[in-house]
């Protein structure tokens, strides 16, 4: 009988100890849960939008520090290096191309908005006005250069070789098989295109760079990408972080009705919620 009591007492002590250890582990996990994060975005409209996201996230206990970048390469470098917790500036084809080129362990965790690409011109009001041999600027990175070529094809200015441009196969100027106006395609870094516009007949310019340069999608374009295409922007994190509680809070804050209303009201169709 005494042995039974001793065994029961030992079992009780062990159970209590295990329960206490489990409670301590849970308390430590809660204490270690991130409440402050750094998110990388492009300067301009993304920066404006994240001011609203920050306020929404704060109500859920998440403090977001917004870090701005002026190009498309540094945000993924900084995220992969651990200098950021997340970024929100790119679409999936661009992320895929960066992962393929640089081996990043970065994954998408939520959609943000769609920013239609435009062909901008200071000198011409329509694609029909473009002269023979006109110099057209396009992005030199694979995914955005591909977008530019598809938009030029949609506008009837060029024709691409069958099998390229879509389904994950990026087109390059070498894939142009018809070019009736003998357009000269000038590949430049995406950030340089607005500055080069005065020296070009027209240029494909990403929405955020166009916005910063004072260009209007409605006023200054001669061709515009379909608003609801495959190029929705996204929030990305390192693969190891994708299931963390703070990631869910970040995505929830961005995909809130408050942020949706801000995008629709502030940008009036030049940016479109993708959630």
pLDDT digits (tens, 9 = 90+) for 163-200: 999 877 899 999 999 999 999 999 999 999 999 999 99
Q: Which residue has the higher pLDDT, 239 or 28?
A: 239
Cα–Cα separations (whole angstroms), residue 60 to 54, 109, 192, 251, 263 = 10, 18, 39, 12, 21
Q: Are residues 42 and 110 in the same domain?
A: yes
Q: Are residues 109 and 39 in the same domain?
A: yes
Q: Which residue has the higher pLDDT, 195 or 2?
A: 195
pTM for the predicted model, two decimal places: 0.75
The predicted model gives 7-33 an average pLDDT of: 51
Say how many CA atoms lie within 13 Å of 83 toward its Cβ: 10
Distance, CA of 238 to CA of 250 (rounded, Å): 14
Residue 98: give its domain's CATH number.
3.40.190.10
* Number of structural domains found in the chain: 2
Give 198's contacts (C-beta < 8 A, 6+ positions apart): 122
The predicted model gives 109-132 an average pLDDT of: 96
Strand partners, 111: 234
* Rounded-to-10 torsion of CA 200, 202, 206, 208: 70
Residue 15 in any domain: the answer is: no
Residue 57 in any domain: the answer is: yes
Task: Give the residue from 181, 233, 214, 236 showing the smallest Cα distance to 44.
Answer: 214
9: phi then psi, degrees, rounded to nearest 5: -65, -40
The predicted model gives 220-243 an average pLDDT of: 92
34-84 pLDDT, tens digit each: 999 999 999 989 999 999 999 999 999 999 999 999 999 999 999 999 999
Give 149's contacts (C-beta < 8 A, 6+ positions apart): 138, 158, 160, 165, 171, 172, 173, 175, 176
Q: Are residues 95 and 59 in the same domain?
A: yes
Q: Are residues 167 and 196 in the same domain?
A: yes
Residue 18 in any domain: the answer is: no
The predicted model gives 264-268 an average pLDDT of: 91
Structural domain range at position 245: 34-116+230-273
Lowest mean pLDDT among 22-26, 79-83, 211-215: 22-26
Q: Are residues 251 and 190 in the same domain?
A: no
Q: Are residues 245 and 220 in the same domain?
A: no
- At 89 the three-state DSSP class reads strand
Residue 80 in any domain: the answer is: yes
Q: Are residues 217 and 248 in the same domain?
A: no
Q: Are residues 215 and 135 in the same domain?
A: yes
Residue 20 in any domain: the answer is: no
Residue 212 in any domain: the answer is: yes
Distance, CA of 221 to CA of 177 (rounded, Å): 25
Residue 22 in any domain: the answer is: no
Q: Are residues 218 and 242 in the same domain?
A: no
Residue 4 in any domain: the answer is: no
Q: Are residues 67 and 192 in the same domain?
A: no
Q: Are residues 124 and 219 in the same domain?
A: yes
Q: Are residues 139 and 215 in the same domain?
A: yes
| Average of per-residue pLDDT values in the chain | 90
Q: Look up residue 219 and give its DSSP letter.
A: T
Confidence of residue 22 (pLDDT cuts 50, 70, 90): low
Cα–Cα separations (whole angstroms), residue 47 to 38, 85, 208 = 13, 16, 10
- At 178 the three-state DSSP class reads strand
């Amino acid at each position: 009988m005494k042995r039974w009591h001793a065994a029961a007492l030992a079992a009780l002590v062990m159970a209590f100890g295990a329960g206490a250890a489990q409670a301590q582990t849970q308390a430590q996990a809660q204490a270690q849960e991130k409440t402050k994060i750094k998110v990388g975005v492009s300067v301009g409209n993304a920066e404006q939008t994240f001011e609203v996201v920050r306020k929404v996230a704060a109500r859920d206990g998440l403090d977001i520090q917004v870090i701005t970048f002026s190009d498309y390469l540094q945000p993924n470098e900084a995220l992969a290096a651990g200098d950021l917790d997340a970024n929100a500036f790119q679409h999936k084809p661009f992320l895929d191309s960066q992962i393929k080129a640089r081996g990043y362990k970065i994954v998408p965790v939520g959609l943000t908005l769609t920013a239609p690409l435009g062909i901008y011109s200071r000198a011409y009001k329509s694609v029909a006005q473009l002269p023979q041999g006109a110099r057209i600027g396009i992005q030199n990175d694979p995914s955005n250069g591909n977008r530019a070529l598809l938009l030029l094809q949609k506008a009837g200015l060029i024709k691409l070789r069958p099998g390229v441009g879509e389904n994950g196969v990026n087109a390059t100027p070498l894939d142009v098989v018809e070019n009736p106006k003998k357009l000269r395609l000038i590949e430049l870094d995406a950030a340089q295109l607005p500055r080069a516009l005065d020296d070009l007949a027209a240029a494909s310019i990403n929405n955020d760079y166009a916005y910063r340069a004072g260009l209007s999608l409605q006023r200054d374009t001669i061709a515009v990408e379909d608003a609801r295409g495959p190029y929705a922007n996204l929030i990305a994190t390192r693969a190891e972080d994708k299931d963390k509680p703070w990631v869910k809070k970040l995505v929830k804050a961005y995909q809130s009705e408050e942020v949706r209303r801000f995008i629709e009201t502030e940008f009036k169709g030049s940016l479109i919620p993708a959630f």
